[in-house]
Structures are given as structure tokens and as C-alpha cells.
Structure 1
């Protein structure tokens, strides 16, 4: 945050200032954190109340606090009616003082990968700050904006949502120069009702663009015409099918399933080699490129940035185990589209391929149908074996109908997979965060490490 006095914040937050004034340069909400010149915002939720930890906050050196009820503690404090809304207003205050240019990203899948791609490109051009982890909701997005200061030239802000109106709120605070909806898929249907509801909620991001901003539209998405009808700013489109301003041609995959392609825009082209596996990442790269082109970044800088795109933890991370098995960790999250992309990737590897899935969450009444579609897609893709764990994945297993089994608990599943993990085999593990499929990945990696240590020990005896 750009340094400011509590007295400057008071009118902006419509707050009462008591206990004196103080200068602050950081904002935080975790009472366990020590923060120099920090302003602590005491949030309330259904199962917690940070006001209960104010003595600890003061003891750890907070410069000031934002509270809903005046505290008897000896510390400068801004008293507000709603501390969560005050956090958003703080972010607005900081955003207005920043000179950075902002890209805001939403979508059902791939938005974190696209965010990292854009950040990788912009870091070549200027000081860039991007959303950390999954800080993309109505608390995380304001906190992200509050981490920025006058040194930053670019901000890359990921916006997520599980209900209508959330993106309108966070996008209004962000005031992006460039806005992207990466795609719409069957994710968070429980909160949006249906795919049209998802598209409408994601579309809120375009209505909060700055007057001279640019809307980046995925021409391959079925809802592209719907969004274009409501966009009032300039539009830049992209397509992996050749139907856009920014397109990919001559797409090829290497032996590790990493794509190479020609990126084309306005009669210019640049050869791109991605370090990320999966043909679906061509789409993500086009989205990132279009966002950066809207900021007048050169194709050369875009190429450099994309070639250094980092692998997101839990997003198709590949590990070659000591026993020769290729293990792919795609446990970051899951929806129908990302499941299809993972299956398509798995099917491209030589040797035996095994799909391991946990439940996809927040699908509401569409839960059974979406899980059945996963099983059907795996069958049509020619996956050699599929194992599943959870509740809804039993429908995937039933439709798949091939080699494999559904398990009611992870320990049984892990026991089976340890027998399957061997040379010339690829195992891909995926599920929503709530299914905790990362535990399966960790167990297989630990088993491989133990096997490796055992083999080394036996060799030493000889």
C-alpha cells in the first residue's frame, strides 16, 4: 500500500477516528501476522470474529486497526459499520493512487495459468505484481490491490466467484485497463444455476473496464456473442481455431506433450514454445498474448515471457518416479472442461495411461451428469484404466466401464496405485480441492522415495 495517514482514510471509509493518528503502509487481516506499519482489519464471519484477537494484534505492533466496535485498547482505530466493505474501500483508495496498468482475469478454468503467463510476459517490461495463490475472492482481491505501491507498473489480478455479483464488486475495485473471460464451463453451477448464469456472472468483469479499456474475448467460447452484445469498450478477440484477431497456427506437441505453434497477429508472427504440457495451454497462451497486446507489448516480449511460463503447483506437474512411472499432479482443482483437457493430455502419452479422479465440487443438480460425462470422455479417449474415489465419481466409473475400480476411501486407492506405478506407465491424478487428491500424489511420491532409498541401501550392502 502507498503510505497514508489514518486521517486521510477516515472520510473515504466514512469512519470515526479515535485514539490518535498513525501512518500505515501495509494492510492485513491475519491476527497471527506481524506487520510493520500495519493496519489490521478485523473481519467477522459465520465462524470467526477477529475482534476477539485485538489484544494479540496490538501486542505484535500494529500501527492501527479497523473495527466495527470501538475497542478499549490504546491504539489508533477507525470504527466502521462493516469491516469487510471497509477492506474493499481501502483497496479502492489505494487503486486510485496507483499509476499501474491493470489486467483482470476471470473464467471457469485456466485463469491461474493465464495470470502466471501474463505476469511472466510483463515482468520483462516493468515491475509487475500478480495475485498470489488463490487470493481471488471478495477478500483476496482487495488484499492483492493493497499489496501494490507506487513502484508497480503492472497489476495482474485474478477474479474468482461462486455467486452472482462477486465479480462486479471486485472488478469495480480493480478498474482494469484490460479484462478477460478465459472461458465458461460447468463450474460452481450450484451458485450460478446453469451455464448461462455462469456466463452472465463472468460477464460482469467487462462492465467495470475503464473508459479506454479493452475487452479480451474468447471467440471459441459459445458465449462470445452474448458478451460482445453487452460490451461497450473496444474488443480484441483470440481463437485457437483461427477465428480471431490473435490466433495460433501450426500447432505441434513434443514428446512431453508441450505445444509449439505460430502466434499470429496483424500479419505478424512469432514462434512460441511452451514449457507447459497440454494442447489446451495454446488457448491459455493466446489469452495471455491478447491481454498483453492490448497493453501494446511487443510480440517479441510476449514470446520471451511465454517461453518462461511457470508451472502452477498442482496444475499438470510432472514427476518421474524412481520406479520409472510418470506421475502427473493436476489436483489444484477440477471442473468438466479441465477434466477433459487432462484426459486429452493423458491419452497422448505412450505406454499405459491411468486416470485417477476425485469428485468435482459445487455442481448442484448437474453433479451426476457432469461426472458421467467424464467417464464417457475417458472411454472415448482410450484411457487404459481409471480409478476413482469419492461419491459422485462412482457415476464416472460406471459409465467408463473399463479396467479399474471405484474406492470409498483413499487408502485403498493408494494401495492399488502403488502396484500400478511402474515403468512405461503414466498416472494422472485430478479432483476438486475438497477431494484432497493431492494426498494420493504425495503418497505415491513418498513410496517411490522409499523404494529408491531401499535400492540404494541394497547396492551399498553389495
Structure 2
């Protein structure tokens, strides 16, 4: 974080500064909500969480080097200045909005139902061939995570790539107010967060709030093969650039060769230019990610050879289609999150593996009233796609089991476990050496524990 004084911070969030006038002009080195990450010069934000109240760490924050604390309740023993606000959660959004507008850098905002994180990693890998890039770490893409990422932008950074995730109407409006994107990337409109957004049209409407505070002449990099996103071509606030496998898109891929778990080779075409690239992470969705990243790179002045180098330098991240070779088994660690579209994509990757194919799939969350039917459909898909063993885990996955068993000509062995713990007890009763094993579920299922067990 650069050049933000306590006085500016208090003004940005309409807070009451309490402390000496001399300290008022002190600049903070960073802003943190985690007392364990306090460093000299930090501003500590005392968030009241469901299980932990950050106010209990205020006194210790000063001892660790915090220059100031942002609080809702005035501390009894303040060993330094503090800024009192009505809501710390609202205050960090207001501070992030202020700080963003002091930054003279290009910001890429990424949203969509599926593939935000993998697209973010692709775009960052490409842009790093020319620029110093800051990107969202992990899955910090909500109204708490986005401010944290904005605060992490330093003087040295030239471009920021920010992931923006929502689950209800109004959230993207508030995120856009902070991020103010110069370039927007929308990956697709799929079946996520139906509990609040009800339909794909509702999802499109909610995610399109990203344009509410986009910069003038914002370039929108859109999946042109998505039937909902193509309707944004007449949106008045954006300049759309479409990508996809269809040749009518502004940038598209041809000669796509799927090499299974080794990755994908294809030619990326724009205008009269064509470049052959090797995408080192498997799955057809990675072609779309590469196309989105290539278009962003072109908008920010990269040559096609720099874009090619960035695509081929991409590294997998934990829990996101990360292929591990452990104990004579191949594990596809895709356990961070799941929805019906991403489940099918991951099963497509698994189906191309050699040897025995095992899918360990868990419950998918936030699917609304159709959740049982959607789990049933994933089960049908798995059983009809050359999977040897399907282990269904969780309450909703009982429907997945039923869907798989309904495929009459399938050779898939279907198993059901009510809980993750039950699965772990029986894991080595059906997993064998030489297997390729897909591990995937929504984050609340904590399937990283399944991956860790397979590593042992």
C-alpha cells in the first residue's frame, strides 16, 4: 500500500480519528483484518465475525506494530491512535474505493459462473511477460476479499487482475464501485447461486452490475460462445470483444488437439495473425481461458509471442485442476469448488486418462430448488463417460448416485458415502495403484482432506 495517511483513511470512511495530531499524518504500510499478519506500520481492522470479534485483538495489535486500529467500539486501553466507525466492514470498502482512485494502473475485473480463478491465473501469467502484476490471491473475491487485494497493490505494480465473485443482486454493484475496472472479463453464465439469482437471466443481470462503475470506454472481453453473454453486444457502457471456438468471434481457436492430462495444443487466431500455443493444463475450458487472456494481453499492448510465452508459462494452483503424481496414482486435485458445469468439465478431463478412472465427487452448494435434479444429472453424465468408479459423497450426492445407476448400459461402479469421514475410512477399499482419481466438490465439503489422504 502506498501513500495513505491516517487522516486520509479517516476521511475516506467518514471515521472519527482519535489520537495525536502528529500521528495523524502517518502513512500506513498496509491494512489487515488478521491480527496474525500485523506488521510494523499496519492498520488493523477489527471486524466482528460470526465466531471471532476482532476487537479482542486491538490491544495486542499495537504491541505487534500496528500504527492504528479501525474499530466500531472504542478500546478501553488504546496504546495508539484509532479510527472509530459505525461498521468496519463498510469502512474497508470505502477505503478501498478511495485507494483505488489514487492508483494510476490498469485494472482487469474478472467475473463469471465458472472459471474465474483459472482465467485470472491465465491472464496474470500472460501479463507478467511485460508488466509487474498484482492479482487476487486464493479466492479473495467477495466484499471482504476484494478490498484486501486492492490494499495489496503497491507502487511497483503496473496492472492488477482482480477476481470478483457474487451470490446475490447488488453485490457486484458494490464490488464495481471499489474496483472500477478498465477491462472486464466475463467467462460464462452458468448454473451457480440459483438460490438467490433464480435463473441464468438473473445471473447475467447480477453479474452485469460490474459495468456500473467501469471506466469510460471499458473493454469487455466476453465468451462469444455463451448464449447469454452475446446479448451484451449492444450494452451502451462497454466496447465488447468476443472470444471462443467459433470463427465469428474477434479472437478464436482452431486446430485444437486435446492431449488428455498433458494439456492442449491449438492455434489462436485474431485478424490475420495466428500463433500455435501449448496450454499446459488439461481441459477444453483452458482454451477459453487462453483466448480471454490473449485478448486482454492484446488490449494492453502485448505481442502475440509474449502472449504465447505467458500461456505456456502457466502453473496450476492447488485445488484447481492441479495434477499430482503420488504413490503410483495420478490425482486431479480440483476440490476447491464445484457446480454442474465445472463437474462435467472435470469429468471430461478424467475420461481422457489412461488406466482406471475414479471420480470422488461431493455435494454442490447454492443450486436452489433444482439442486436434486442437478446432482442427478451429474451422476448420469459420469456414468455415461467411461468412468470406472464413481464415489458420491454427501446428502445431495445420494441423487447423484441415483442418476448414475439410472444409466442402464454403464459399466461404472457406483458407491455412496453419507459423509467425508465415511469416505476416508473406506478410501483404500476401492482406490488402487495406477488409478487416475478426480477429487471435486463445493468448498464446504473440505475435500482437500481427501487429497491429503491420497498423498499419504
Which TM-score bucket, shorter chain as reference?
over 0.9
Query: How many residue pairs were aligned?
Result: 445
Residues 1:181 and 2:191 aligned together? no
Shift in Å at residue 42 of structure 1?
1.8
**Partners of 1:121 and 1:287 in 2: how far apart?**
10
Q: How does 1:90-169 map to 2 (within 5 A)?
A: 90-169=95-174
Residues 1:48 and 2:58 aligned together? no
- Partner residue of 1:361? 365
Shift in Å at residue 223 of structure 1?
0.7
Residues 1:405 and 2:415 aligned together? yes
Residues 1:325 and 2:329 aligned together? yes
Gaps (5+ residues) in structure 1?
Answer: 447-462
Residues 1:37 and 2:41 aligned together? yes
| Structure 1 residues 369 and 243: CA distance shift in structure 2, 3 A | farther
Q: Which residue, out of 323, 334, 337, partners 2:338?
A: 334
Q: Secondary structure at the match of 1:281?
A: helix
Residues 1:197 and 2:207 aligned together? no
Shift in Å at residue 44 of structure 1?
2.3
Shift in Å at residue 295 of structure 1?
1.8
Shift in Å at residue 320 of structure 1?
2.5
| Structure 1 residues 6 and 255: CA distance shift in structure 2, 3 A | closer
| Structure 1 residues 70 and 268: CA distance shift in structure 2, 3 A | same
| Structure 1 residues 419 and 78: CA distance shift in structure 2, 3 A | same
Q: Secondary structure at the match of 1:256?
A: helix
Kept in 2, the 8 Å contact 1:414–1:444? The answer is no
- Partner residue of 1:384? 388
Residues 1:347 and 2:390 aligned together? no
Kept in 1, the 8 Å contact 2:330–2:435? The answer is yes
Residues 1:221 and 2:265 aligned together? no
Shift in Å at residue 74 of structure 1?
3.4
Q: Secondary structure at the match of 2:359?
A: strand
**Partners of 1:23 and 1:109 in 2: how far apart?**
39
- Partner residue of 2:32? 28
Shift in Å at residue 134 of structure 1?
0.9
Q: Secondary structure at the match of 2:2?
A: coil
Residues 1:6 and 2:6 aligned together? yes
Kept in 2, the 8 Å contact 1:207–1:231? The answer is no
CA RMSD of aligned residues (A): 1.7
| Structure 1 residues 267 and 33: CA distance shift in structure 2, 3 A | same
**Partners of 1:405 and 1:190 in 2: how far apart?**
28
**Partners of 2:53 and 2:419 in 1: how far apart?**
35
Q: Secondary structure at the match of 2:35?
A: coil
The two structures have a TM-score, normalised by structure 2, of 0.93
- Partner residue of 1:456? none
- Partner residue of 2:436? 426
The two structures have a TM-score, normalised by structure 1, of 0.92
Q: How does 1:256-275 map to 2 (within 5 A)?
A: 256-275=261-280
**Partners of 1:223 and 1:328 in 2: how far apart?**
30
Worse-matched range after superposition: 15-24 or 147-156: 15-24
Worse-matched range after superposition: 423-432 or 35-44: 423-432
| Structure 1 residues 98 and 430: CA distance shift in structure 2, 3 A | same
Q: Deviations over 1:131-174 (max 9, x none)?
A: 11111110110110111122110000011112111111112211
Shift in Å at residue 415 of structure 1?
4.8
**Partners of 1:49 and 1:16 in 2: how far apart?**
20
Shift in Å at residue 247 of structure 1?
0.3
Give structure 1 regions of 4+ aligned residues with deviation exceeding 6 angstroms. Answer: none
- Partner residue of 2:295? 290
Gaps (5+ residues) in structure 2?
Answer: 406-411
Q: Deviations over 1:348-383 (max 9, x none)?
A: 122221211110011121210110110111122232
**Partners of 2:260 and 2:183 in 1: how far apart?**
35
Residues 1:311 and 2:316 aligned together? yes
Shift in Å at residue 276 of structure 1?
0.4
**Partners of 1:45 and 1:313 in 2: how far apart?**
27
